[in-house]
Each structure stands twice: as structure tokens, then as C-alpha cells.
Amino acid sequence: DALLNKLVIQRSRKYVKQSETGNGNTSPLFPERQLPHVIKYSLKTVYESIYSDIKEAFDKDAPFLTLAIYNPVAYKKEPDQDQQHYQGLLIGLIRTLLLKRLESSYKAFEASVEDLLAKMADFLKDHAPEKYEAWTMTNTRWWRLVQEHIAERLEQDEPETENEEEEGLFDSTKDTLSPEEYDLEQLCSDVLEDMEQLTSILSKIYRRFYRKGKEGEEEDPEKDTKLQQLHKTLQNDELLQNQKIIIFSEFRNTARYLAEYLKDAGFENIEQVDSGRNVKNRELVIKRFAPFYNQVSETKDLLGQSELSYCLDNPIDILVSTDVLSEGLNLQDACLIINYDLHWNPVRLMQRIGRVDRRLNPDIEELLDRPEHLKGKVYFWNFLPPAEMEELLHLKQKLDGKIMRINRTLGIEGALLSPDDPDMAMKLFNERYEGRETVEELMRLERQRIEAEHPNLWQELPDLPRRLFSGKQVGAGFGPIFNQRDQEIDRIEPYNRPGLFCCYRMPPVIDKAAETLMDVKQEEYDPATHGLGEVRWYFRDGETGEITEVPEKTWAAVRCVIDTPRTVKTGVTDLAAARKDIEKHIKNTFLKQIQAPIGTKPILLAWMELN
């Protein structure tokens, strides 16, 4: 941007290298950031049946949970529109925070729901003591557990400690409301209804994530499938073996939960920090984790030995932290980061990665003697929010939007969320903000043209048999692509790779409320009976075996005009193994993500050999 270039000084790596190289100086040493690894998981698997209850309770348009305690102005006999608007925004923030904590971990969500319930109980106790007494009598067991959990959390935190995640957000009105100004009967009834909803959710969480007979008292970490994904990644990924690792979470409840589990699971040399724990010893924790890049002193006496000796004798190999350690620290002794959850702000993600993706000291690098495959490199892993949470939060969508704005304005060095970040960010920007049609839009326009130009063929398509097989030479009959203004588009070129194209219809969703899938055998599938599932295109490269469903490749591989010669060389029999590879890929990606029942299969509609 011409204006920004005149106003902003951006000390990028390119600038540093250019300004410091020359006059006998060697080029500054920076690590090479690798593309992010994505760790997938499913909230529906983590929470099971509780997920649908939570989804209904926190639905944006028609929530069961009113959060009336944060919207008393709605019960005012003389409403104030400005106050009502403000409190409506506050309720939206609370809803979003609760869902974000749900995605982070059940411990973070549980803690917030318990705090929320306690505040509602205090309100009801002050304004309708008889309803409060009746509620406590009905929910004695769960209310006792809530109070015990809150007391335990208070004991863990030092007095006057700020809560970095939700400071003041859960504070409801502390003033006693006057019955002359407010409809207290209706307000207290709605608060009580919310308390019943939260108690029901908490009771299900206690039953789901704690051992039977010890609900709310003894955790059962095996049931937390997201946590188990972290365990498997740490245990099985060769890059992470016997190395220093930072695990970031936005929320302290999650960070503490992870650290305690990893210690119990047998991982050694673990420490955890947040704004409420290890405040006094945080500097020592940092030095024990990264002694070399924090220039630990050889002379300072610490417990009878030098600081360096103490830090080397008491190392920290896995450091679990909130974003309290995401700014201004040198932690380059490590080069591996795991983001257990994502922050709303992509800059915070950059800051997390920036703890290890920093300027390196060649002398220190020699002392560290990293394994060859880690030298001069930085790796990081992201737990991306699953599709079901994306429906409610749109977290990745919002992060993508922010990332592409930053990328467009200042530039981002490397991907942040997933391996295709840089390309996708600019692609989205070009398509959404510069008026360019998406590939999907261009495909839709072409379908309309085919339908208009060949109406008889279009009418015959539904009667064609499934599993129809064809073939053509790569690039044959590609022809020009036109946008809605009939302008020729030249940014999509033929995908001239030999291979196999397959078009599948995915299993249909038959129960939208429960979001379960029909287990339909291929020979029994009937669209009229079972409904129409989503159609997906796949292309398997005949030389590399790589499978893609990116439209720029799948469409560009098979696209042709009506008189393109049909050419088959390999044939159905010899391509059966390649088709099985695609179906295995679908099973391990799409079907796994939506938790399709065992035996559920996609329906092959058509396939084509590209030779």
C-alpha cells in the first residue's frame, strides 16, 4: 500500500537481512517456518449427546438460554432502548465466549457454566429467596459439586489475580432491583429457567467426563477424545520425540487441565503457567525451559549452585501456557509449538509462533546441537475447530478474513492456520473483495449455459445409470471459460495430469435435529426415499497417487465440450484399485469428520479416466 509504505516502518526479516548484510557482516540467521500441521477432532465425539443440548441452549437465533440476568433492562417497566442494545451485545459476547470455551476443553466450559450458575443463584437468592430454596432442594447434589469446584479454583489462584479470559464479563448487576421499576416475577422466572438449563447441562458433563459413581469428583480423561488426540500426537509424531515443546491455550482452565493430565500420563519435565499461577516464579520457569536464549547466568547463586546449573539440572521439556507467554519472550531453545485452541486474533497466533520463530544465534545453535531434521526450522500444530463448531462460532471463517486483510496490507510470512493459508487468503480476498467470481460460481454459470444450450441432454441426465464410466485425453476439449459478463477468464488452466476423476454423492442427513446419517448400502440407496446428500468431486493423480477435491484441479481435469472424443486406455477393471483409494480417502476425511456410522458409503455417480 503506497500510503502505508510512507507512514509505517515494518522491520520485516527481509529488511533486517538487507540492512545487516554487507561490509563483512554475515547474513542474520532466522529459522525456516514449516507449513502448519492440522490436528483434527470432532466435538460431537467429545461431547456425544450433550452437544445437541448445548447447541440448542446457545443457538444464536432461538436460544433456550435467555441469559436474562444480563438483560434486566428488558424487564424494565419503562424500557431504555440504548441500554437494551448494550445488554444485547453483552449477551452475544457471553454466548460466544462460552462456545469458545466449549471448543477449547470441557474443563474450561464446565468452569464458566459453574461460575455463571453461581451468579444466577446469588441473584435469585437476593430477589426470590423462596425460588432459590426450592431450586437448591431439587438440585442438592449438583449444586454441592458446583460450589466445591468453585472453591477449588479460588484456592488455586492468588488474591487480586486477574482472569485474563473473561475479566468482568460474567459480572451481572449487583444492585437489588426494585419491583416498582422491574417485572421481577418474570425476570426471576426466566433466571430460574436458565438455572435449570445450566444444571441439566452440568449434570450431563459430570456424567460424561467423570467416572461412574464419582460424577464431578474423579475425571475420566479417556472420554475426552480431543485430549487423547493431543496425547497421540505427542506420543507418535517423530518430530515431537524428546524435544522441547510449547503448548498454548487461550484459557487457564484448559492449560491446567492439560498439564495435569500429561503429568499423570507419564510425560516428564512438565510445567504450566498462566496469569494466576507461578506469577512469582515465571521468570525461573522461562529460564528452565529456554536457558540458552535467556542468557542464564553462570555466577548467580541459586539454591547453592549457579543459575545455569540449576536450570540444566531441572529442565522443562513441555511448557503449557496461556497467552501470558505469547509476547516479548525468547524461547528459541524450542522450535515446536502446539496450539490446543485458536485465539480470535490472528496477531496473537503470530505472537505465539514468534516465541520460537525468532532470530537465531549461531553460537547458541551449536550448543543446542538440535537433531538434523530440526536445525533451522520451526514446526507448529493447530487444533482447528471442527465443522460443527464452525456452524455456531464461524471462528476459522473470521480468522481467515482477518488474516487476508493483514496479508493484503502488511504481508504475512508463512501460513497460520492450515497449509493452504497464504493461497487461500489471497484467493478469498480477490474473490470477495475485488468482485471476482469464485470457481464454484464459474462452474454454476457453465452448468446454466449447458442446460440452456443442450436442453435435451440435460433432461436425460437423471435417467442415466449410476457409476457411468468415461475417459478422455488430458486437456482435451477444455475450451474458454466465461464469467457472468461473458468475459473470458484465463486464470483457470487445464489440469494436464493423468489420473482418475470420481463424482460421489455423500450419505444424506435424514435427521437434522440429531444430525445422524442414514446407513444406506449402495444397492439400496434411493434418492426419492433417502434424500439427496452432498455431491463431491475427487481427482487421483495417476503418477503420484495424490488425491484432491480442490475445484481448480478436479473441474479443470474433466472439463470439456460436448463433442470431445471419448478415449479409454486403462479401463474400469485396472482402475478399480485407484477408485478404492479415493473411497478410502473419503472414509478417512469426510465420513470420519461427520461421524458416519460404520458401513456408510458414498454413492459413486460417475467416473472418468484421464489419459
For residues 40 and 255, which has the higher predicted lDDT (pLDDT)? 255
Q: What is the pLDDT of residue 476?
A: 92
> Structure pTM?
0.68
Q: What is the pLDDT of residue 83?
A: 79
Residue 530: C-alpha distances to residues 464, 504, 512 (Å): 19, 15, 13
Q: What is the pLDDT of residue 530?
A: 46
Task: Note whether 102 and 201 are within 8 A (CB).
Answer: no
In this structure, of 3-7, 41-45, 581-585, the range with the lowest mean pLDDT score is: 3-7
| pLDDT bucket at 589, cuts 50 / 70 / 90 | confident
Each residue of 140-187: pLDDT tens digit? 999 999 999 999 988 877 543 444 445 445 555 566 788 888 899 999
| Helices 421-433 and 395-409, packing angle to 10 deg | 90
Among 61, 60, 67, 101, residue whose Cα is nearest residue 87: 67
Rg of the chain (C-alpha set): 29
Is residue 464 classed exposed, middle or buried when 0-12, 13-18 and 19+ CB atoms within 10 A define those classes? exposed
For residues 388 and 39, which has the higher predicted lDDT (pLDDT)? 39
Is residue 37 classed exposed, middle or buried when 0-12, 13-18 and 19+ CB atoms within 10 A define those classes? middle
Q: Where are the beta strands (DSSP E) in 361-414?
A: 377-383
Each residue of 79-102: pLDDT tens digit? 777 777 888 888 888 888 888 898
| pLDDT bucket at 226, cuts 50 / 70 / 90 | very high
Q: What is the pLDDT of residue 295?
A: 81
Provide the percentage of residues in the chain whose pLDDT is more than 90: 41
Which residues in 386-419 are b (16+ Cβ under 10 Å) and which e? bebbbebbebbeebbbbbbebbeeeebebbbbee
Task: Note whether 460 and 598 are within 8 A (CB).
Answer: no
For 389, the enclosing helix (H) or strand (E) is: helix 387-393
- Residue 578 CA to residue 571 CA, distance in Å, equals 11
Residue 298: C-alpha distances to residues 232, 273, 301, 362 (Å): 38, 25, 8, 20
For residues 378 and 518, which has the higher predicted lDDT (pLDDT)? 378
- Residue 542 CA to residue 524 CA, distance in Å, equals 31
Task: Note whether 136 and 199 are within 8 A (CB).
Answer: no
In this structure, of 2-16, 123-137, 187-201, the range with the lowest mean pLDDT score is: 2-16
Summary mean pLDDT of the chain: 82
Each residue of 493-532: pLDDT tens digit? 889 899 999 999 887 644 333 333 334 444 444 544 444 6
The average pLDDT across 486-490 equals: 82
Residue 571: C-alpha distances to residues 467, 577, 603, 610 (Å): 13, 11, 20, 10
Whether 111 has a pLDDT exceeding 80, the answer reads yes
Q: What is the pLDDT of residue 498?
A: 93
| pLDDT bucket at 272, cuts 50 / 70 / 90 | very high
Q: What is the pLDDT of residue 248?
A: 95
Task: Note whether 226 and 383 are within 8 A (CB).
Answer: yes
Q: What is the pLDDT of residue 503?
A: 94
